[in-house]
Amino acid sequence: MTSSDLRDSILHHLKYSLGKDAAHAVTQDWRMALSLAVRDRITDPWFDATRTAYAGQNKRVYYLSMEFLIGRLLQDAIVNLGLLETAHEAFTDLGLPLDTVLSNEPDAALGNGGLGRLAACFIESLSSLAVPAMGYGIRYEHGLFKQSFVQGRQIEAPEDWLQQTHAWEFERPESTYHIGFGGRVVQKDGRSVWEPEDGLIAQAYDTPVIGWKGRWANTLRLWSAKPTQIFDLDRFNSGDYIAASAPETLARTISRVLYPDDTTPQGKELRLKQEFFFTAASLRDALRRFESEYDDLHLLPQKVAFQLNDTHPAIAGPELVRLLHDERGLPMDEAIATARGCLAYTNHTLLPEALERWPVELMGRLLPRHLQIIERIDAAHAAEKPDRRANALEDGEVKMGELAFIMGHKVNGVSALHTDLMKQTVFKELHRLHPDRIINQTNGVTPRRWVLGANPRLSTLITDAIGDGWVGDLEQLSGLETHLDDAGFLDRFAAAKRGNKTDLVDWVQRNQGIALDPDAMFDVQIKRIHEYKRQHLNILEAIALWQEIRDNPNADWTPRVKIFGGKAAPGYVFAKEIIHLINDVAAVLNADPVTSKYLKVVFLPNYNVTLAERLIPASDLSEQISTAGKEASGTGNMKFALNGAPTIGTLDGANVEIREHVGTDNFFLFGMTAPEVDARRELGDHAAQAIAADPRLARALDAVRDDTFAPGDPGRHAGIAENLSGHDYFVVCSDFTDYWRAQREVDAAYADQGGWMRMAALNTARSGWFSSDRSMRGYLADIWRTGPALGADGE
């Protein structure tokens, strides 16, 4: 496609699809017109992919996920179709910079964090590998809230990504399923029949996901909830207009908001309804497709794989058994075995509070037949493997992790360490009973979005050095190692980083009014705010460093900017206090005339995929400082390493594997290991001991406790100070001293820019293994037991 073809297509859509005259078109119109022109290029490979999968009778992979944090789609599609240059030229002709058009797209925040972003990377990789697959999720009207700060505090506002027409989706009014809730189970002809009391409609919206080089496209099918009855005409006619639309309002609530607050009973109920809603619709849709091709249900495990992204779709186990047994007549034991042959479960957390459990009362009320089936599943499992501790039902609760484990033929962790810990902790008993079930599949990230799209300067440099094969085969980055002794290469590497940093400096100046020095080290921690991720360890170190610079302002300090980004769950009070503290510290430090040339702190609001794409290429240092044993994997850590930002980190999650790949000399390790953390906690007064042993830490904590960062409001941050000097469950204090040491090593290393750039480039050269293409190949080989539908030559 030439740039004039693309320009004609854009102008055609502007006129005939959007009804706009070019003379009056605004940026949004151009963005929509470009999206439709690009979408046209996806449609043929998309249809071809469907036809190929049917013709080849390939096994299909269904990725069930409550979250797909896809971000913006236009640039990704243009990059994968190889149309970036063409689009630049087309818009040069049209007199508008392409970047202006691309940045007009809303960021689809249909996820909270790593789990949702992983699902988005996986779907892209499955398309790039030409594997027949489908992502199933929920089309939330409102994604993750918008974050702003008022006097340093997080404020949440609803997010409205669907306010403008979504250019990428196709509404499927014909693809609908009736989803029931409540009611009772009756016996008919010796069979159990669920008669739900309430119900709603799940309607599909399809978004094509194009793979690298446009060879294959899969579908992301998101369900939207619609009422079975639009409104109650009798009530309307009698003048009760609000009550007349109640059924519609109730039904739509299901797909209105991503993870509503589940601290209230109503919130919990809504979340379970969301889970059943999208899982049930997805299973029925997949079964319908299977039954259009095959008439033997025993073939199901050969032809269909359902991957459960965490426990959120774990109701798939009992629902699939119900569909096979109650609705299709397969004997119960066969139904369970068949369902298990199709299902596999990915665990993303060991935190007990995040492992879902539903009260039996709630499950029985909303899904009475499923509760009976869960009892049967437990009984069948106990008959095979007697051990009461391995049940899904316990103490009046349904444990969704255990249910997913029992109903999955494979259960995977997301990093090597996390997988080992799963075996030793949450699934200890089940692992003993099923020693082959737990396997590891370390996470990965798509190089198309996270290097080629986000970091064009680095990408050009890599391609100039080793050709462009790395985009589809990231391990080719190892070929960069031979270029590292070439000073010219390292200079160009440094120039690319510098260019990215300058872009960020300009953006921060424009958007936050804060001046940053591009020569300072950009030290970045971006992720959800959580105690285990320890943003408070980072800010404590900033406070201690500030105090030290004030004591000794003429020493040879390495200038640093600490950049934070991330949202706290609206109900997570302590996480919100951490945000408040960081913002208060930033205000004091940035206004300090003595220290601010050496140390600044910036908390960028509303962290999302787009902001990550801006920040990661401009980062020098990646903060991965979680309490060992708590971060299942991390994926941000991989994006930083790939973009040439060495890590300061603990031996947690995939940091362990990153360190092995990039080399211990190119990773700033600190802190206790997971077993050391457990042992340390045994000392009741571990925090007091750590504080007593480190005057720097004691002084930094004093500043948190007094009014240093809360002028006129002493005690504002006392909660954090008390937590850290008391219980300190996440052992912030006990890791502080070693973190300080490692940070000073970072300072010294950064001061030698030649050495630093080499280390940064080595991180890029040695991180090719962390591609989500590699992760997907692992799932294909070890879990789904299928492969691409096209050969490397596209046949």
Catalytically annotated residues: 348, 527-528, 533, 635, 639
User: For the chain, first and last CA: distance in Å?
Assistant: 22
Q: CA-CA distance, 123 to 510, in Å (whole number)?
A: 35
CB of 348 to ligand F58, least distance (A): 4
Which residues does 173 contact at the CB level (< 8 Å), separation at least 6? Answer: 203
Q: CA-CA distance, 575 to 530, in Å (whole number)?
A: 6
CB of 716 to ligand F58, least distance (A): 28
Between 193 and 354, whose beta carbon lies closer to ligand F58? 354
Between 653 and 788, whose beta carbon lies closer to ligand F58? 653
Between 584 and 631, whose beta carbon lies closer to ligand F58? 631
Between 127 and 440, whose beta carbon lies closer to ligand F58? 440
Measuring CA to CA, how many Å separate 699 from each of 30, 386, 691, 726? 55, 56, 9, 16
CB of 349 to ligand F58, least distance (A): 6
CB of 17 to ligand F58, least distance (A): 36
CB of 441 to ligand F58, least distance (A): 10
Between 9 and 419, whose beta carbon lies closer to ligand F58? 419
CB of 522 to ligand F58, least distance (A): 23
Contact between residue 224 and residue 110 where contact means Cβ atoms under 8 Å apart = no
Q: CA-CA distance, 390 to 377, in Å (whole number)?
A: 12
How does DSSP assign 480-530, residue by residue? GGGGTT-HHHHHHHHHHHHHHHHHHHHHHHHHH-----TTSEEEEEES---
Measuring CA to CA, how many Å separate 723 from each of 31, 139, 289, 432, 732? 49, 39, 54, 37, 10
CB of 658 to ligand F58, least distance (A): 12
CB of 648 to ligand F58, least distance (A): 17
Inter-axis angle of helices 400-407 and 368-384, nearest 10: 60
Contact between residue 584 and residue 546 where contact means Cβ atoms under 8 Å apart = no
Side chain identity at residue 268, one-letter code: K
Measuring CA to CA, how many Å separate 6 from each of 299, 385, 463, 710? 45, 62, 25, 56
Q: CA-CA distance, 87 to 3, in Å (whole number)?
A: 6
Cα–Cα nearest to 304, from 293, 319, 318: 293
Q: CA-CA distance, 13 to 15, in Å (whole number)?
A: 5
CB of 285 to ligand F58, least distance (A): 23
Between 451 and 654, whose beta carbon lies closer to ligand F58? 654
Q: CA-CA distance, 400 to 438, in Å (whole number)?
A: 16
Cα–Cα nearest to 627, from 657, 655, 659: 655
Counting Cα atoms < 13 Å in the Cβ hemisphere of 549 gives 22
Structure letter (DSSP) for residue 445: B
- Cite the beta strand spans of 644-763 per DSSP E: 647-649, 668-669
Token digits for 360? 């039996």
Between 450 and 756, whose beta carbon lies closer to ligand F58? 450
Between 10 and 144, whose beta carbon lies closer to ligand F58? 144
Contact between residue 72 and residue 119 where contact means Cβ atoms under 8 Å apart = no
Residues in the chain: 795
- Tokens 């971000």: give the residue: 71
Three-state secondary structure string covering 302-341: HHEEEEEECCCCCCHHHHHHHHHHCCCCCCHHHHHHHHHH
Q: How far from chain centre, in Å, is Cα 791?
A: 30
Between 541 and 631, whose beta carbon lies closer to ligand F58? 631
Between 257 and 690, whose beta carbon lies closer to ligand F58? 257
Read off φ and ψ for residue 149, nearest 5 degrees: -120, 130
Token digits for 45? 């490979």
Q: CA-CA distance, 533 to 528, in Å (whole number)?
A: 8
SS3 content of the chain, % helix, strand, coil (to 5): 55, 15, 30
Interacting residue ranges for ligand F58, rule: CB under 6 A? 112-115, 118, 259, 348-349, 354, 414, 443, 631-635, 653
Between 635 and 764, whose beta carbon lies closer to ligand F58? 635
CB of 274 to ligand F58, least distance (A): 11
Read off φ and ψ for residue 239, nearest 5 degrees: 95, 0
Q: CA-CA distance, 226 to 235, in Å (whole number)?
A: 19
CB of 701 to ligand F58, least distance (A): 27
Contact between residue 608 and residue 109 where contact means Cβ atoms under 8 Å apart = yes
CB of 645 to ligand F58, least distance (A): 17
Read off φ and ψ for residue 304, nearest 5 degrees: -140, 130
Phi-psi region of 268 (alpha: psi -120 to 50; beta: other; left: phi over 0): alpha
Between 335 and 398, whose beta carbon lies closer to ligand F58? 398
Q: Which residue is nearest to ligand F58 (CB)?
A: 114
Contact between residue 396 and residue 342 where contact means Cβ atoms under 8 Å apart = no
Q: CA-CA distance, 159 to 793, in Å (whole number)?
A: 43
Phi-psi region of 82 (alpha: psi -120 to 50; beta: other; left: phi over 0): left
Between 348 and 483, whose beta carbon lies closer to ligand F58? 348
CB of 632 to ligand F58, least distance (A): 4
